[in-house]
Amino acid sequence: MDPEKLIAGLALIGIVILVSALLSGLVDRSGLPQVAVFIAIGAALGPGGLGLFNMTLESPVLRVVATLSLTLVLFTDAVTLNTREVRRNAGLAFRMLGPGTIVCAALTALAAWWLLGIAPASAAILGAALASTDPVLLRSVLRRRDISPQARLALQLESGMNDAVLLPIVVVAIALTGQHNLPTGGSLAKMGFGLFILGPGAGVAIGLVAVSALDLIRRRIGVRRDYESLYSLGVAFTAFAAAEAVHGSGFLAAFTAGLTIAALDVELCDCFIEYGGVTAEMLLLFTFVIFGTSLIWTGFSGLDTRTVIFAAFAILIRIPIYLLTLIGSPVDRRGRLLIAWFGPSGLSSLLLILLAVFAGVPGSDTLFRISALIVMISIVLHGTSPMLLTRFGPKTQVPIEPVEPPAPAPEVVKELRSLPVIESATPASVGPQSITLEELHQLSKSGDQVVLLDVRTERSRDTSDTQAKGSVRMPPEHVVAQANQLKLPKEAWLIAYCA
């Protein structure tokens, strides 16, 4: 590799990490679209700026980065799902993915065929890609506390599962484009076996082996939590490679491996959310930089009236479909309006279209150009929506309801029981990071005010039917705001347990 290109590549990675860290607080407070910043960085480094990078659809680097990114998108979607929540809200999940996602994809494909004259199979690829919601743009909305839990759950279900529904549509449509010969019944059966059996099967197998191996090592030696998150990323890429080795779908294997972990290993899921999720997001933002160098700007080339009308249709068709779909659902009126509006197209859409580009589908460059235009419009419209919600939305927040303790106190932190017991608990003698059960008991007897906080994630709490006696339920997001809202005494000892 050219040393100058290597240095430029390392500089690009460093810039992404530095800018992500420096802007994280501003983005969270203001609701600014973070991806827009990284697209702008790409533009500054591209041919129109410093000229350090000029990424094209034929670039080998693009194929590698796109494959890694789509694998991570699907794995992250799956591993962050709360499988118990999915089962409890199966009806809502069906509304979001069935009448919602699939109907949006079908009507968008129909519009592409009728308005733009795109072949039916290629139109199906475009419709499925544009029906995918972007996890990075959704993050800023899902973290808001002025959104009802039902609306947040609906968006989480959609963003976590719709890519797995849309990916098979894209793969089958690519096979039906007829670029060489029309597929026979035998070839379609072979493709279906690889797509729906070999790929998911390899993902489940790798997930089971990985969870079993980790559980064994945990019990005998112990594993650091931050390394567990890296372990989960290794599971994703191993599942992809295993499925591709047996001619299955590596992308669906990554999704099913994540789903297996979500169902079997709560601790590993929480570790991924704490540490691995940040690593995955960095790679996704890095991909936005690559697209921003030159590729995404192709969306503004060759614009005509029909393309503009189609773009407006593709963005706005979601509103009536989801308003109708959510009739009779437990989501409140404001939540339904938010869901109907907030279906951003972003990285997932571009990555799905790139599958057609890499497969050599005729006219796939046109599909990418149209998708790039709609993604740019969506970043502006949907990316600024959280900022408008902050300024013009309701000032009240969703109330926090403390949970009544249903059972006597369990062991708070099992890993800390080996610490030495102190003679008398005082502010100077109790460690600031951890405390044993014996130390907690002595601290309570000393006369100081003690508040026990249950800060387990919803996923961890779902696996247990006990809660420490007298504890206050406080989910681990927006802790300071919750403490103020609950009016916790500032002079008290706050003891949190998470297991």
DSSP calls for 4-65? HHHHHHHHHHHHHHHHHHHHHHHHHHH---HHHHHHHHHHHHSTTTT-S----TT-HHHHHH
pLDDT at residue 103 greater than cutoff 90: yes
Q: Please give the pLDDT value at position 31.
A: 60
User: For residue 495, what is the enclosing H or E element?
Assistant: strand 493-497
Residue span(s) of the chain under CATH 1.20.1530.20 come to 3-392
Residue span(s) of the chain under CATH 3.40.250 come to 414-497
The stretch 147-168 carries a mean pLDDT of 87
- Is 16 within 8 Å of 278 (Cβ atoms)? no
Q: Residues 171-204: pLDDT tens digits?
A: 999 988 865 455 556 666 777 787 888 889 999 9
Q: Which two tokens stand for residue 147?
A: 């959104």
Phi, psi for 80 (deg, rounded to 5) = -90, 0
The stretch 349-368 carries a mean pLDDT of 92
The stretch 407-432 carries a mean pLDDT of 41
Q: Which two tokens stand for residue 298?
A: 């192709």
Q: Please give the pLDDT value at position 403.
A: 40
The stretch 449-462 carries a mean pLDDT of 67
User: For residue 201, what is the enclosing H or E element?
Assistant: helix 199-220
**How far apart, in Å, are the Cα atoms of 66 and each of 130, 301, 391?**
17, 22, 36
User: Which range (1-5, 108-112, 366-370) has the least confidence?
Assistant: 1-5
Question: Assign residue 164 a region: left if phi > 0, alpha if psi is -120 to 50, beta otherwise?
Answer: alpha
Name the pLDDT band for 410 (thresholds 50, 70, 90).
very low
Strand, coil or helix: 493: strand
Prediction pTM value: 0.77
pLDDT at residue 79 greater than cutoff 90: no
Higher-confidence position of 40 and 461: 40
305-316 and 103-116 are packed helices; what angle lies between their axes, rounded to 10 degrees? 170
CATH architecture of structural domain 414-497: 3-Layer(aba) Sandwich (3.40)
Strand, coil or helix: 453: strand
In sequence order, what are the beta bridge partners of 496? 453
Query: How far is it, in rounded angstroms, from Cα 290 to Cα 55?
Result: 7
**How far apart, in Å, are the Cα atoms of 407 and each of 18, 190, 400, 467, 469?**
46, 54, 21, 6, 6
How many other CB atoms are there within 10 angstroms of residue 424's CB atom? 9
Q: What is the mean pLDDT of the chain?
A: 78
Query: How far is it, in rounded angstroms, from Cα 281 to Cα 34?
Result: 11
The residue written with tokens 């089971």 in the block is: 208
Maximum CA extent, the chain: 82
Name the pLDDT band for 146 (thresholds 50, 70, 90).
confident
Judged on CB neighbours under 10 Å (0-12, 13-18, 19+), 87 is: exposed
How many other CB atoms are there within 10 angstroms of residue 448's CB atom? 14
Question: Assign residue 222 a region: left if phi > 0, alpha if psi is -120 to 50, beta otherwise?
Answer: left
Question: Residues near 86 by Cβ (< 8 Å), separated by ≥ 6?
Answer: 93, 157, 161
One-letter amino acid of 214: L
Judged on CB neighbours under 10 Å (0-12, 13-18, 19+), 205 is: middle
Query: How far is it, in rounded angstroms, from Cα 373 to Cα 293?
Result: 15
Judged on CB neighbours under 10 Å (0-12, 13-18, 19+), 209 is: middle
Q: Which two tokens stand for residue 377?
A: 């419009």
User: For residue 72, what is the enclosing H or E element?
Assistant: helix 60-79
- Is 377 within 8 Å of 36 (Cβ atoms)? no
- Is 271 within 8 Å of 229 (Cβ atoms)? yes
* CATH classification code of 3-392: 1.20.1530.20
Q: Which two tokens stand for residue 468?
A: 């420490």
Phi, psi for 454 (deg, rounded to 5) = -90, 100
What stretches of 272-330 show up as alpha helix (H) in DSSP? Answer: 277-290, 305-316, 318-325
User: Which range (276-280, 301-305, 309-313, 358-362) has the least confidence?
Assistant: 276-280
Q: Which two tokens stand for residue 293?
A: 């160098």
Q: Please give the pLDDT value at position 40.
A: 84
Strand, coil or helix: 481: helix
Q: Please give the pLDDT value at position 460.
A: 60
User: For residue 494, what is the enclosing H or E element?
Assistant: strand 493-497
CA angle centred on 376, ends 375 and 382, rounded to 5°: 75
Q: Please give the pLDDT value at position 374.
A: 95
